[in-house]
Amino acid sequence: MNEGRLFIDPDEVLRYLGLRSAPPDEGTRALIGECREEMASLARPRTVYRELDVRFEEGGVRLGGSGLLLPGEDIRRHLDGCAACILLAATLGGGVDRAVAALQVRQMAKALVLDCCATAAIEEVCDKLQRELEETLQAEGRYATTRYSPGYGDLPITCQRELTALLDTSRKIGLCATRENILTPRKSVTAIIGISKRPLPARRRSCESCGLRQSCNYRRGGRHCGDS
């Protein structure tokens, strides 16, 4: 992925804070601005990806050359029409987790805003990588689906450890999956992008296609980020 200063969209931060429907007060705007600057300095975005052939089997999709079966009907539907896929992983690095944790002890409001900035940041890292991959694929006459991650639909979160091992994320970008299949550093994403030789129908982004589904404050509260 091309290097450059990380842009953190203030509108996305407001959305994750649940404040998109009403203008924030001056103090909140100032705090968001401060946290955006801090996050841009704290984050150390790193990514890794790998292209693999896919083979459709009863009960899931097998990744060629690895033997890994991605179980479930939802991933079959997501990769329908695809002959290959890209596995990707992205992280902001451990410094972000440490900064948020330190603030939670003494400045909870700022910790919340900084955490939302981190959420917006990791999504931007993934979006940027996907845009670059799509440009490369289109130059080759190929097309990409949206991202799909373990924990979406019926693709189990237990795939996390196998995907991180397949990408060698621990060595390459410092990203691990715990025995409970939680990614660490926390602001990290793994995802699967399908590759087809023909244009694919647009698929709507939703909770089922969001890399932060497992740690989303909206979902915990029974809401959707688009509701704000």
Contact 79, 54 (CB under 8 A): yes
The CATH code of the domain that includes 211 is: 3.40.109.40
Contact 120, 9 (CB under 8 A): yes
Inside any domain, residue 228: no
| Domain assignment of residue 205, given as a range | 10-218
pLDDT at 203 over 90: no
Question: How big is the chain, counted in residues?
Answer: 228
Q: What is the pLDDT of residue 226?
A: 46
Inside any domain, residue 5: no
pTM of the shown model: 0.85
Q: What is the pLDDT of residue 146?
A: 96
Inside any domain, residue 225: no
Tokens of 34: 């401060």
Inside any domain, residue 41: yes
Average pLDDT, the chain: 90
Instruction: Report helix, strand or coil for 79.
Output: coil
pLDDT at 211 over 80: no
Contact 137, 194 (CB under 8 A): no
Tens of pLDDT, residues 1-38: 655 679 999 999 999 999 877 788 999 999 999 999 99
Q: What is the pLDDT of residue 16?
A: 94
Q: Radius of gyration of the chain from Cα atoms?
A: 18
Inside any domain, residue 22: yes
pLDDT at 207 over 90: no
Q: How many domains does the chain have?
A: 1
Q: In one letter, which amino acid is 120?
A: A
Inside any domain, residue 3: no
In sequence order, the β-bridge partners of residue 83 are none
pLDDT at 219 over 50: yes
Inside any domain, residue 223: no
Tens of pLDDT, residues 101-125: 999 999 999 999 999 999 999 999 9
Residue 45, CB-side half-sphere exposure with 13 Å CA sphere: 26
State the Cα–Cα distance between residues 76 and 72, nearest whole angstrom. 7
Averaged pLDDT for residues 42-57: 97
Long-range contacts (CB closer than 8 Å, 24 or more residues apart) made by 55-61: 61/85
Inside any domain, residue 121: yes
